């Protein structure tokens, strides 16, 4: 285990008031990405060989997909607070011409409008419930009990502030017809295939697909299943640590068998690959810098120890060779758009529209 620095935590605790409100907001996300119990299931040697062969085939298939342009457009993207109606047609035209950043921005804008809209509706429903509970209880006991003992008026004020914040964001969505879930995923895919790393992370992780839209996304999911692993590996080889972690967790089959990430469903469990990527993660500067008590750091420690204990001598040697063959970018210093993207159970956070400004990178060898 690499020694980690004692960097102090920077996240401030806002108290039970904020925690209670955030718990309400979380109900609106509906992505099906809950923390799961960890389980390592190393595949038999024959299965590992077959998985490697299938992985190579899928990589070739993705590499053969034509992409209109791998060069970022010279013009900058519009400011983030620009109403979508004023920039939508221009972004669509740029995306059609092969601008990966414009495709990313379109997908991110529509996804943000959809997500904020869900959260807004959930908060409005919670606000109505709190008002009804306050009226039904003379002293507000029902409301107080549901909000960890905090003052109901403080909770109501905080919820009202969040509703107002969401309303301001939703104003930027007015006047634009939402694209279909399939079209939104297609924009993510276009940017990912053009080696726009933030989009590669978002698409390969499965975040481009929403649980409440899956029946509308079956054709796109079939395409995703055949290329997610190769895209994730490209992003990881280019140094995207969050994708490395998602990929390592998928290869390790680190769940309880009942709930798996989209990426985990698209790859075959592979002890050698899992051991290689967890080894890289454990030594990466971004992970080394985490405090020892950090949840992600502890998760990586635990998985690495379990994989090392389960691996045969041949598998350990094969994993070491995999690590040695990785490009330097996979073991380098942290890059921008890193903070807060990890989820210790193998998911990644949704992409912020600001990340679309990143230029596509050259493919790692």
Q: Which of 111-125, 211-225, 346-360 has the lowest mean pLDDT?
A: 346-360
Q: Residue 26: is its pLDDT beyond 50? A: no
84 within some domain: no
Return phi, psi of residue 203, to 5°.
-70, -50
Domain membership of residue 349 (yes or no) is yes
For residue 322, the surrounding DSSP H or E stretch is helix 313-325
* pLDDT at residue 44 in the model: 46
At 173, list the tokens: 């969505």
Question: Does some domain include residue 290?
Answer: yes
Lowest mean pLDDT among 18-32, 51-65, 247-261: 18-32
Domains in the chain, number = 1
93 within a domain of the structure (yes/no): no
- Residue with the bigger pLDDT between 93 and 36: it is 93
Q: Is 344 helix (H, G, I), strand (E, B) or coil?
A: coil
Structural domain including 332 reads 16-68+180-357
Q: Measured between alpha carbons, how far is 167 from 298 in angstroms, rounded to an integer?
A: 39
62 vs 128, higher pLDDT: 128
Is residue 166 in some structural domain? no
Kindly report the pTM of this predicted structure.
0.74
CB contact at 8 A, 99 and 74: no
Determine, yes or no, domain membership for 193: yes
Local confidence band at 18 (pLDDT 50, 70, 90 cut-offs) = very low
Contact 310, 271 (CB under 8 A): yes
Task: Considering only residues 55 and 217, tell me which one the structure prediction assigns the higher pLDDT.
Answer: 217
CB-based burial, 244-269: b 16+ in 10 Å, e otherwise = bbbbbbbbbbbbeeeebbbbbebbbb
Give me the numbers of helices (H) and strands (E) for the chain, helices first please: 15, 0
Q: Per-residue pLDDT tens for 64-123?
A: 333 444 444 568 999 988 999 999 999 999 999 999 999 999 999 999 999 998 888 888
In a domain, 206, yes or no: yes
Inside any domain, residue 78: no
Q: Which of 58-72, 99-113, 249-263, 324-338 comes out lowest in average pLDDT?
A: 58-72
């Amino acid at each position: 285990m690499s020694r980690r620095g004692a960097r102090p935590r920077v996240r401030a605790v806002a108290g039970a008031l904020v925690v209670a409100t955030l718990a309400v907001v979380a109900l609106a996300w509906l992505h099906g990405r809950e923390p799961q119990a960890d389980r390592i299931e190393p595949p038999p040697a024959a299965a590992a060989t077959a998985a490697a062969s299938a992985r190579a085939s899928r990589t070739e298939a993705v590499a053969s997909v034509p992409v209109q342009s791998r060069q970022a457009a010279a013009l900058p993207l519009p400011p983030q607070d620009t109403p979508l109606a004023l920039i939508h047609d221009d972004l669509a035209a740029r995306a059609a011409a092969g601008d990966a950043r414009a495709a990313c921005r379109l997908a991110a804008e529509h996804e943000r409008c959809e997500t904020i809209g869900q959260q807004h509706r959930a908060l409005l429903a919670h606000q109505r419930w709190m008002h009804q509970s306050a009226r039904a209880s003379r002293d507000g006991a029902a409301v107080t009990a549901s909000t960890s003992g905090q003052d109901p008026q403080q909770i109501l004020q905080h919820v009202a502030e969040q509703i107002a914040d969401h309303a301001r964001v939703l104003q930027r969505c007015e006047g634009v017809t939402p694209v279909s879930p399939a079209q939104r995923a297609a924009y993510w895919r276009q940017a990912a295939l053009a080696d726009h790393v933030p989009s590669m992370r978002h698409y390969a992780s499965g975040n481009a697909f929403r649980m409440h839209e899956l029946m509308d996304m079956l054709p796109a999911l079939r395409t995703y299943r055949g290329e997610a692993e190769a895209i994730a590996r490209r992003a990881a080889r280019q140094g995207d640590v969050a994708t490395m972690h998602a990929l390592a967790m998928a290869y390790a089959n680190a769940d309880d068998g009942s709930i798996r990430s989209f990426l985990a469903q698209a790859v075959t469990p592979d002890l050698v690959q899992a051991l290689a990527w967890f080894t890289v993660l454990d030594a990466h500067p971004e992970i080394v810098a985490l405090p020892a008590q950090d949840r992600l750091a502890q998760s990586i420690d635990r998985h690495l120890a379990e994989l090392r204990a389960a691996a045969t001598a041949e598998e350990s040697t094969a994993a070491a060779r995999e690590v040695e063959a990785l490009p330097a970018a996979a073991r380098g210093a942290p890059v921008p758009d890193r903070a807060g993207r990890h989820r210790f159970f193998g998911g990644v956070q949704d992409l912020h529209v600001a990340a679309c400004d990143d230029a596509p990178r050259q493919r790692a060898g």
